[in-house]
Amino acid sequence: MTKLLKVLLVWFAAGVSVQLGAQVTSDDLLNAAKEPQNWLTYSGTYMSQRYSTLSQITPENVKNLSLAWVWQNRSLELFEATPLVVNGVMYTVQPPNTVVALDAKTGRVYWTYEYDPSPNSRACCGWVNRGLAILGNTLFMGTLDQRFLAIDAKTGHLLWSTQPEDVPSFERGYSYTVAPLVVKDKVIVSSAGG
């Protein structure tokens, strides 16, 4: 019997259940200020102060900060996304619409989900994206060509993609660059440009 089999046999035998529970609940989002080690929504909390209560970096020691890691963005567009951080995993967007999951400690990549928006997208001010929203194990992103995507936060697989009705066409210069906002079980997103 292979070692792999033995290890997993032990794991199954120990009765460890597969954890399929939600990673980020709407209660977690409501109480995001209680988890300063995480960054669960674009502006940090629903107060939108974008202020971290972590105390390791202070006005006194900030001058001592040094480079911990570098992740090379493979895009020449502007970087405008605020990353989310959930239990040590950092989720961010490489412009225009590529989602990346990194180990926040080392910058190593867990997975990459590439979405190429239509070349006919005409965003006013660069092919940019401001970031993601998360609920459960699902990441949400609006795209430059007015699509709205749900992506599995563990694997980077596309869960669904939709083009909301009654929104003006991206060919007329409308786009989603905003980071979506999750409120309870709803995701709010809005078009820019035109």
Partner 1 sequence: MAAIWALRRSISLSQYLSTAKRSKKRLYIIYAALAVWPLAPLSAQRGNTGRDPHEVQTGSEVFNSICTICHGQEGNQVPGIDLAHGTFHFAKTDQDLIHIIRNGIPGTEMPANNMSEASAAAVVSYLHQMAADNADNTITNGNPDHGKALYQSLGCAKCHRMGEVGSRLGPDLTNIGNLRRSAVLERKLLDPAKDILPENRFVTVVTQSGRTITGRLMNQDTFTVLLMDPSETLLSFDRADLKQVTIEDKSTIMPSYQGKLSNQDVSDLVTYLKQQKGVPVQ
Residues that bind partner 1 (CB under 8 A): 1-5, 7-9, 11-13, 16, 18-20, 87-89, 101, 103, 105-106, 108-111, 152, 154-155, 157-163
Sign for the CA dihedral angle at 159, 130, 114, 193 comes to positive
Which is nearer to partner 1, 8 or 188 (by Cβ)?
8
Nearest-approach distance from CB 138 to partner 1, in angstroms = 9
Which is nearer to partner 1, 49 or 120 (by Cβ)?
120
137-146 burial string, b = 16+ CB within 10 Å, else e? bbbbbbbbbb
Which is nearer to partner 1, 53 or 106 (by Cβ)?
106
Nearest-approach distance from CB 13 to partner 1, in angstroms = 6
CA distances from 140 to 27, 135, 136, 189 (A): 18, 8, 11, 10
Q: How far apart are CA 152 and CA 156, in angstroms?
A: 5
Q: How far apart are CA 135 and CA 74, in angstroms?
A: 27
Nearest-approach distance from CB 47 to partner 1, in angstroms = 29
Sign for the CA dihedral angle at 56, 57, 60, 63 comes to positive
Q: How far apart are CA 155 and CA 76, in angstroms?
A: 26
Strand, helix or coil at 135? strand
Nearest-approach distance from CB 193 to partner 1, in angstroms = 23
Which is nearer to partner 1, 15 or 119 (by Cβ)?
15
Are the beta carbons of 128 and 177 closer than 8 angstroms? yes
Which is nearer to partner 1, 11 or 79 (by Cβ)?
11
Which is nearer to partner 1, 32 or 104 (by Cβ)?
104
Nearest-approach distance from CB 19 to partner 1, in angstroms = 4
Nearest-approach distance from CB 144 to partner 1, in angstroms = 17
| Radius of gyration of the chain, Cα coordinates, nearest whole angstrom | 19
